[in-house]
Amino acid sequence: MKPFKTEKYTDFTKAVNRKKMEKAIAHVESQFGKEYSIIIGGKRIRLDNKFHSYNPSKKGEIIGTFQKADEQAAEQAMQVALETFESWRYTPAKTRASYLFKMANIMRRRRFELNAWMVLEEGKNWLEADADVAEAIDFCDYYAHEALRYDKGPNLYKFPGEINRQVYIPLGVGIVIPPWNFPLAILAGMTTAAFVSGNTVILKPSSDSPGIAAMFMEIVEEAKVPVGVVNFLTGPGAIAGDYLVRHPKTRFVAFTGSKPVGLRIVEQAGKTQPGQIWIKRVVAEMGGKDLIIVDSEADIDSAVAGVRTAAFSFQGQKCSACSRLILDDKIYDEFMKKFIPTVEAIKVGPVSEYDNYVGPVINESAYDSILEYIKIGKSEGNCVCGGESAPGDGWFIRPTVIVDIERQHRIFQEEIFGPVLGVTRARNFDHAIELANDSEYGLTGAVYTKNKKKIEKAKREVFVGNLYINRKCTGALVGIQPFGGFNMSGTDSKAGGPDYLMLFTQAKAITEYIGRKRKIRKKPVRKSKK
């Protein structure tokens, strides 16, 4: 078995890779309009109520038709998952891990196809889509290795007369509710972590990304994961999702999404239902209001590039995206003079075209919400770049920079989830850290400075789950930068880290008494007197 190593990104400067990507996009477009079933215990089921997934780059273009799962379907999935758990829980870790290794290899083979699905269904540019697939591959490989490590158990101290072990056993049936913004990586990460640990899963993807979720299920089936281990329900969360979160047989819920939905899940899961004999576990990641500090002693050119990428890649629709830029007053003018032209140069349009860096926001609701926040920002500060929709037949918004934002402003405090960056002046480095920590969130942050004492101060005092020094605040790598935040950013679950599988297991300590061996004293031999 090879040691874990992160997946390399595709080099799209090579013509051969661009041609492969164009071919994959054309292939996925030829599949538009197909209908997809829910999958329970390996059976494909069609329901009376349905919904569509749309291409955000072209309003009204249907990607596919999907089933609206109801409570009856949810209960059916629960019963199958419960039954399957009774055998899957005892499947050796080596066997469970082997399925993840197979899934990783299938993803490698189908990489351009998976990329194309995200370009068309989510509006990710080619680089962002490829990074998403690479991360999904990494999660499969990493959690497979982790499952084998967990299977060995921790080293315990020896005690005479006993054999002592601690083993990690699965919890039961889990509900996995992934987001639309990382529709393969986070979905694959949460699902594989759950079932490689011996649990069974009911997967309920976002209604904005059911197509790529259906592709994931094809990969699960192609890898021959036993039926019933992963059950697939599409549809609105209020019907199937709420029902399953409240269900007395649900053992855990793994969720990534908005703060309001996450808090609702925490509340519902916290209410003990009749027949429930455990405390439900909730693993939640709920977004952020992420910051970058640029100090007076920073490398300005490096900071400009990092902020541009962190703020506007994938239209600012990452929970880790920089939406608060805190500039030391001494370098404010120099930074902005270099920064604004780089933002104005960003190409906006359908990301099926390689040259477009910023694509559409996910849907009409997000589009309206972001434009409303831009109006608020203009009333609170001064818009110096963007601030409006962009031409095209999709939900396009120009990258927007609003300056003169103060800590009490809504643009400073509220998560926007779009290509909108608020800029705030700091008197000095201490003031910058004070501003950075003035948030109910605590997911990611970055600090640019060459001063070693300031770096150490930032490490101690900037209160976020993932802190980056002299680099952007997005792009955590599996196994290298475990990801998860503080406060209203979630449960600091540290996806892609060595503690993550612990959240999907429970530790059982086993002591076997074997008795102490008594030492037999030998009688001294008397020497004869002669």
Catalytic residue IDs? 285, 319
What's at 402, amino acid-wise?
I
CB-count burial class (<10 Å; 0-12, 13-18, 19+) for 437: middle
Rounded (10°) CA dihedral 126, 107, 199, 73: 70
Residue 512: CB atoms within 10 Å:
9
Encode 260-274 in three state secondary structure: HHHHHHHHHHCCCCC
Instruction: Kindly state the helix (H) or strand (E) to which residue 373 belongs, with its residue range.
Output: helix 364-380
The C-alpha atoms of residue 218 and residue 205 are separated, in whole angstroms, by 14
The C-alpha atoms of residue 25 and residue 331 are separated, in whole angstroms, by 44
- Give the tokens for residue 163: 């054999």
CB-count burial class (<10 Å; 0-12, 13-18, 19+) for 177: buried
Task: From residue 48, give the alpha-carbon distance in Å to each of 44, 418, 444.
Answer: 14, 35, 43
Q: If you compute the radius of gyration of the chain from its CA atoms, what whole number of angstroms results?
A: 26
Label residues 58-68 b or e (16+ Cβ within 10 Å = b). Answer: beebebbebbb
Q: What is the DSSP letter of 238?
A: I
Task: From residue 446, give the alpha-carbon distance in Å to each of 175, 235, 326, 449.
Answer: 33, 37, 10, 10
What's at 109, amino acid-wise?
R
Residue 169: CB atoms within 10 Å:
13
Q: What is the DSSP letter of 426?
A: E
- The number of angstroms, rounded, from the C-alpha of 10 to the middle of its chain's C-alpha atoms is 21
CA angle 305, 311, 316 (to 5 degrees): 145
Q: Which of 205, 178, 207 is nearest to 190 (CA)?
A: 178
The C-alpha atoms of residue 502 and residue 517 are separated, in whole angstroms, by 36
- Give the tokens for residue 470: 């002299």
If phi > 0 it is left, if psi is from -120 to 50 it is alpha, else beta; for residue 524 that is beta
Instruction: Kindly state the helix (H) or strand (E) to which residue 276 belongs, with its residue range.
Output: none
For the range 24-28, what are the long-range contacts, defined as Cβ-Cβ under 8 Å and sequence gap of 24 or more?
24/112, 24/113, 24/115, 24/116, 25/116, 25/119, 25/120, 25/352, 27/113, 27/116, 28/113, 28/116, 28/117, 28/120
Residue with the two structure tokens 């699902």: 191
